[in-house]
Amino acid sequence: MASPANAPILPGYYPDPSICRVGNRYYLTNSSFEYFPGLPLHASFDLLTWEPIGNALDRPEQLPVQTGEAGASGGIYAPTIRHHDGRFWLATTNIHEVRRGHLIVWAADPAGPWSDPVYTTGAFGIDPDLAWDEHGICRLTWHDVMRGGISQVPVNPETGELLGEPKVIWRGTGGSNPEGPHVYQRGGWWYLLIAEGGTGTGHMVTVARSRNIDDPYESNPANPILTHRSTNDPVQATGHGDLVELTDGSWAMVHLGTRPRGSFPRWHTNGRETFLVGINWRHDDGAICICIEPDAESGDCPGAWPTVDEGRFVVPERLSSFTDRFTGERLHPRWISPGAAPATFATTGQGGLTLTQGRAAAERDAACLLATRVTDLYWSATVAASGDLALVVRVDDAHQALVQRIGETITARASIGPLTQELGAGLVPPEASLTIRAETTGAAPGQRSGPDRLRLGFEVSGEFTELATLDGRYISTEVAGGFTGRTIGLEALSPQAQVQAFTYTAL
């Protein structure tokens, strides 16, 4: 079994998690930024093992995205998923359309189809939350960049119309970037959970409460309820949580975190991932609260605060390796594209995957890149294909390493900021498979080392030939910046490439 201290429930670039439960099944969504389709959706019966069920924003009219450096870490920011009155609701912000307000979509089935979005014009900011009070009135709560702090307003979620004047309900505890709000009702109290400290090493989860949903909220004296700042914990940047009540009446929280590696200052490569902790409710005197319903004598719970139990859940080992032969009618939900809709250039069928040309071979920026998230710390990826093709590991266009084949020539290249350089090349037979491997650095103790080393090359009959090796720190968030993580992509470099198989293997 994997240790709960360093095992995410959704590994890889799955930040800003939001969760809800319907019956005995849980549903989870995450930010997707510049990648299309947007808002990945997973389902689970046990909170520990998750199945992808689709992406909510899977039509271009729902989600305009941008390619290139201008689009990097744009697009879809932190979402909220909720279930109310027989419908699933999703609220999020497309940062490229931020002046339109947040967008809201709904579906009867979380696997889709999801509605076209409506926009909350007048609510300017990021990280929207939806919560319904006992009268069925919906509140929109978000990080208000105009007023500062967390604002709230009644909203019609079917139209996006604001039904009042927004007002600030809490400014947090004083940490930077009070954002990611979620509102809950329990025991006659309303609770407001937020993220503070920025989404880096100072990240934390804080909470406040109020008797009424739209009154000012009072801060928990024990804030923050979760942070790993200034610790040696293998998981860092813990924050941006969302609570959920389990079928047995207990509670849990999903949150994001990173797994930095290497020598000081350490680097994380897979982006911000989704983790799980237990929640206990405790009164101000520290006693565990069991006031699920308002007290019969006083009319309500005397007050409780959520406290975090990081050791409650043990995440099981998972099978992350896969081979995709692309013979189905559509792409698996794992496949995404930065700034483009995969359906416009990728076609599946009995012959495998057909890719129409994206960028030219000498160009740097992706045009039609079909990608999947890296979910392991050490891995290999191999593609068997015919035609001119690139296999790429990237954080964005300015931070990538690739192996590309043009005719019988295979070249290893890397782009780090404004610099693009050929690292190695060779003549190989047409049956060679392009391969990238992320392995341990092998540095001796005390030596400066990156998080891993990226070996770029090709395989013939299962035998790997290396063209170049790159220090993995250059394809990390600490170097690239932004809010995503590594993805592995395929792009055709001539009018058409045919992919027989893509194999991802955890090492």
Q: Could you give the residue numbers annotated as active site? A: 16, 179
| H or E element at residue 480 | helix 477-480
Query: Which CA distances in Å does 316 have to 49, 166, 340, 506?
Result: 8, 44, 35, 15
What is the chain's length? 507
Q: Would you report the helix, strand and coil content of the chain in percent, each value rounded to 5?
A: 5, 45, 50
Q: Alpha-carbon distance 212 to 385, whole Å?
A: 60
Quick check: helix, strand or coil at residue 54?
Answer: strand
**Contacts of 117 by beta carbon, 8 Å cutoff, 6+ apart:** 57, 62, 103, 104, 105
Q: How far is CA 447 from CA 262, 378, 478, in A?
A: 10, 20, 19
Query: In sequence order, what are the residues at sequence separation of 6 or more whose Cβ sits closer than 8 angstroms to the Cβ of residue 40?
Result: 14, 29, 30, 32, 52, 54, 55, 333
Closest CA to 497 of 328, 381, 369: 369
Parallel/antiparallel/unpaired status of strands 236-245 and 218-219: unpaired
Q: Give CB contacts under 8 A, 24+ apart, made by 405-409.
A: 405/432, 405/434, 405/458, 405/493, 406/361, 406/493, 406/494
What order of strands is seen across the sheet that includes strand 409-416?
A: 370-373, 487-492, 389-396, 399-406, 409-416, 419-427
Q: Report the distance separating Cα 187 and Cα 334, nearest Å.
A: 39
Beta-bridged to residue 346, according to DSSP, are 355
Q: Token digits for 249?
A: 């009446």
Three-class SS of 330-359:
CCCCCCEEECCCHHHCEECCCCCEEEEECC
